[in-house]
Amino acid sequence: MYGVDTGALVRAVKRNLDRFPNDFMFQLSPKEFEDLRCHFGTSSSWGGRRYPPFAFTEQGVAMLSSVLRSKGAIRVNVEIMRAFVRLRRMLAPHKELARRLDELELRYDGKFKIVFEAIRELMEPCEEDPPRPRIGFHARE
């Protein structure tokens, strides 16, 4: 995805460990690594990876794009920044709507108070979805 070999990725991560807290990245345990090797039928003990690999969460993958220097990593980082800008633009109309609603409420008497309250209630963010169980590997703390 980033156009770098595994060794360069591991070196970049190790140089920047403070950017990868436990909820961004973890290293597989020896047992998990063995299970993974057996599952995918990777090479024997004298070939292939000798150390358990790192596993990255969504935030860790985003952080990788800022510590790697390949063209692919730069493109990913730029797209992440653009996504934040798009998200901010999507949320901006709600601020404008709230401001206009305040202006309207000042012009009308108490009869419309219930209408304004209903509109404000509809503008409130919905309750968060219940947390979903984590899938995949879990960091041991």
pTM score, whole prediction:
0.54
Q: How confident is the model at residue 117 (pLDDT cuts 50, 70, 90)?
A: confident
- On whether the CB atoms of residues 28 and 51 are closer than 8 A, the answer is no
Give 97-108 pLDDT, tens digit per residue.
778 878 877 777
- In this prediction, residue 15 carries a pLDDT of 95
Query: Structure tokens of 40?
Result: 């995918």
Residue-wise pLDDT tens digits, 54-67: 899 888 888 898 89
